[in-house]
Amino acid sequence: MNVILIGIVIAAKFLLPFLMLRFPFWASASNFILDTIDGDILMPLGLEFGTYQLIDKIADYVTYILMVVAARKWEIRKLIIGLFAFRTIGQLLYFATGNEVIFFFFPNFLEPLFIVYSFLLMRYKKNAHAKYRKHIIPIWACIILYKMWNEWNTHIANIELSQVFFGF
């Protein structure tokens, strides 16, 4: 087991979300990418699946908390807090039961909304909320369709996309 590389990836999982306080879009998009590939890095390095799951879920929750903090002045902050509370229920039920199917019923809408809204803020500055309101239906259609597919794929079908696409 390569402890140093595992340590670096785990440290990145916990430290990268703090950059959302200064660079919401770039840090959240980077964190999303890291969260997508971290298992494909950590488990081949020797981290046990159960240990990975625990670390991943705790790092995810730290990310959600920092998203709420970063969005404290955004016009959609109440929605962000509501989605955080919704996902928190899912996280608690997962830790109480160990049943990852829970995440399908408590999907993580918070992360894609944060990424989209922070992009709008970066791109349109003071007009970001107007752009969000103007495109709210396609934005939410994409978020819901993507997250329901993602939660089903990850927590019910247990399909490893890296194996499907890259053979590892």
Query: Would you say residue 49 has pLDDT above 70?
Result: yes
At 155 the pLDDT is 86
Euclidean distance between the first and final Cα of the chain, in Å?
Answer: 18
CA distance 103 to 93: 9
Among 39-48, 84-93, 153-162, the least confident range: 153-162
Average pLDDT of the segment spanning 87-110? 95
Q: In this predicted structure, what is the pLDDT of residue 164?
A: 53
What is the reported pTM?
0.91
pLDDT at 167 over 80: no
Contact 79/113 with Cβ under 8 angstroms?
A: yes
Would you place residue 160 in the very low, low, confident or very high pLDDT band (cuts 50, 70, 90)? low
Predicted confidence (pLDDT) at residue 24 exceeds the cutoff of 90: yes
What's the pLDDT score for residue 161?
57
Judge contact between 105 and 90, C-beta under 8 A: yes
Output the pLDDT for position 29: 97
